[in-house]
Amino acid sequence: MRSNGILRIVARFLIPLIMLFALYIQFHGEYSPGGGFQAGVVFAAAWILFALIYGLDAALDVIPERAMYVLMLLGVLIYAGVGVAGVILGGHFLDYRPLLDDPQYAQQLGIVTVELGIGITVSTVTMLIFTMFVQRKSESLESEPLESEEQD
Amino acid sequence: MLFAIYSLLSAALFAVLDAGDVALTEAAVGAGISTILMLALLALVPRQEADAPRPNWPALAVVALTGSVLIYATLDFPEFGNPDNPVQTHVGPYYVEETYNDMGIPNMVAAVLASYRSIDTMGEGFVILTAGLAVYALLGGRRRRPKAKTTKRENGAP
Amino acid sequence: MGWLGLFNYWIVVVLMMIGFYTVVSRGNMAKKIIGLNLFQTSAFIMFISAGKILGGSTPIYREGTEIYSNPLPHVLILTAIVVGIATTAVGLALAVRIHENFGSIEDDLLNEDDSDDETST
């Protein structure tokens, strides 16, 4: 796939647009269909497209595995953090009303933050699952010459 | 390939049935991620099935029995699209009417998902995290070749 | 009432039975996972079609629209779709590991291997 010129040029044009669209879905999720899950999956799909065309090593340079582990946990922590902030400021768990003065703005702040956490977790988990599968394949390709000797 | 086409068709069906969020999610997830993972699996395991496909008669009988029982059960269901259905009368109209007053955002599905029922969404975030950790635990370490199995087969009966 | 009003549920049952047959009849694990996904999607279609109101529209508040479809099934199915990919991914990872350790992903060959071990010890 690396030598196919048309694919590389079209991908170079499309991948930033797909990521931008994912961010649009994430933050416009209050006004149009969208939200955290859809945005996370579309962002991960853009990264997977990059990995398919330019190779997994180049893709892991962009978002390293270490960062994936940290971000995966950070997303869920943001979600639980908003919940605990509701408790600290005097309401129930995941109650958005004590966060700000105006009730409608407090709900909107809570919803945007929570969707952001979900979006981060979903996108990094999808990227991580893809990376795990592909690394297993490349390990099996490395060890194949030894296996054929043992089977005699 | 057929798997991806099936997901895309069901996403189109969801869009026709007025479910915008669900159509977007099913199109992204089904036609994108599921297909990629299936292709990744087929790259790692043999692509052909073991025996020649022959119909499995006991399984077919069980499936026919279950199908007929389910169709008999659907005869009691309410009619499609009727506004007086039991599913439309309990909490649904409350969410439809009160979302814009309570929160000021137009998307009712996002409001229910993130605010009215947000503990469920947190549990779902944890499920996604656990799936990621499970795949890491299964496929993350170095690949070890099962040496004991191959030597046992070579020696015959121990 | 007529049988045309129940048409969507019958489609759901047909798809569900196709998925069920795929899971039960063959031993190949990849096929079982595909069958499970088929089953899940048919359940989603049932929920979404049950929540639709004829003459309604997408549940996003707009000026000029009076009737909206019920948003509650949409929320449930959104969660279910994402949980579906999570379980599919874990199932595929398990299939990869089983293939590495035992050499095949067919149920019959794996059962034969187990009975060989039992008789030899």
Q: Which tens digits make up the pLDDT trace of B6-61?
A: 888 888 887 777 778 888 888 888 877 888 888 888 777 776 666 656 777 888 88
Structure confidence by residue, pLDDT tens digits, A30-62: 888 888 899 999 999 999 999 988 888 889 998
Q: Out of A31, A37, A132, whose CB is closest to C78?
A: A37
What pLDDT band is residue B131 in, cutting at 50, 70 and 90?
Answer: very high
Question: Measuring CA to CA, how many Å separate B15 from each of B11, B25, C70, C91, C106?
Answer: 6, 11, 14, 29, 38
Question: How distant is the alpha carbon of residue A9 from its chain centre?
Answer: 24
Whether residues C93 and A32 touch (CB distance < 8 A) is answered with: no
Eight-state DSSP code of residue B77:
S
Chain B positions in Cβ-Cβ contact with residue C9 (cut-off 8 Å): 74, 77, 80
Structure confidence by residue, pLDDT tens digits, B53-104: 677 788 888 888 999 998 888 888 877 777 777 777 777 788 888 888 888 8
Q: Which residues contact B75 (CB under 8 A, 6 or more apart)?
A: C6
- The yes-or-no verdict on residue B130 having pLDDT over 60 is yes
Rg of chain A over all Cα atoms, to the nearest angstrom: 20
What pLDDT band is residue B147 in, cutting at 50, 70 and 90?
Answer: very low
Judged by a CB distance cut-off of 8 A, whether residue B35 touches chain C is: no
> In this structure, is residue C62 part of a structural domain?
no
Q: What is the ipTM of this complex?
A: 0.84
Structure confidence by residue, pLDDT tens digits, A125-135: 999 999 998 88
- State residue A123's pLDDT score: 93
> In this structure, is residue C13 part of a structural domain?
yes
0.95 exceeded by pTM: no
- State residue B151's pLDDT score: 45
- State residue C64's pLDDT score: 77
Whether residues C6 and B46 touch (CB distance < 8 A) is answered with: no
Report the alpha-carbon distance of residue C102 to residue B148 in Å, rounded. Answer: 11
C72 CA: distance to closest CA in chain A (Å) = 14
- The yes-or-no verdict on residue C92 having pLDDT over 60 is yes
- State residue B53's pLDDT score: 63
Q: Residue C98's domain is classified under what CATH number?
A: 1.10.287.3510
What pLDDT band is residue A2 in, cutting at 50, 70 and 90?
Answer: low
Report the alpha-carbon distance of residue A148 to residue A130 in Å, rounded. Answer: 27
- State residue A145's pLDDT score: 56
Note which residues in 8-27 of chain C have CB less than 8 A from chain B: 8-10, 13-14, 16-17, 20-21, 24-27
Q: How many CB atoms are located within 10 Å of the residue A61 CB?
A: 10
- The yes-or-no verdict on residue C101 having pLDDT over 50 is yes
> In this structure, is residue C39 part of a structural domain?
yes
Judged by a CB distance cut-off of 8 A, whether residue C62 touches chain A is: no
Whether residues A33 and C60 touch (CB distance < 8 A) is answered with: yes
Residue C22, class by beta-carbon neighbours within 10 Å (0-12 exposed, 13-18 middle, 19+ buried)? Answer: buried
Mean pLDDT of chain A: 85
Q: Out of B18, B40, B45, whose CB is closest to C99?
A: B45
Question: How distant is the alpha carbon of residue C99 from its chain centre?
Answer: 23
Let me know: does A103 contact B105? Beta carbons within 8 Å: no
Which of B38, B100, B101, B107 would you mutate first to test chain A, the one with the most A CBs within 10 A? Answer: B107
What pLDDT band is residue A21 in, cutting at 50, 70 and 90?
Answer: very high
